Amino acid sequence: MKVSIRTCVVCRKKDERNNFFRVTKSPNGKIFLDKSYKSAGRSVYVCKDCKCIETMLKKRSFNYGFKTNVSSVVYESVYNDIKSVLDDNQSC
């Protein structure tokens, strides 16, 4: 079976898809944490690493990946969703 290799939009690290969080911009423009890894739309990947998650906010990395200006509200929403997933497994 072929392994899907993806690149972190923050640090540019390449790894298997399941080692990243997937953030998707749906066709109607909504940006969200895609926990299913199956939603339609353009996606960016972020390492499951506290440093990358924090840097994502500082660098506003989604602007590059989605080729548009993403509002601070969206960043905070995605960040909070990631933190809730991490709280189950680890904390930053």
- Parallel/antiparallel/unpaired status of strands 42-47 and 14-16: unpaired
2 or 30, higher pLDDT:
30
Structural domain boundaries enclosing 58: 5-89
Q: Is 6 within 8 Å of 15 (Cβ atoms)?
A: yes
pLDDT of 1 over the 80 cut = no
pLDDT tens, residue by residue, 24-80:
999 999 999 999 999 999 999 999 998 999 999 999 999 999 999 999 999 999 999
CATH number of the domain encompassing residue 81: 3.30.1230.10
Q: How many domains does the chain have?
A: 1
Q: Please give the pLDDT value at position 3.
A: 86
Measure the CA–CA gap between 39 and 21, rounded to whole angstroms.
13
Q: Please give the pLDDT value at position 16.
A: 96
pLDDT of 90 over the 70 cut = no
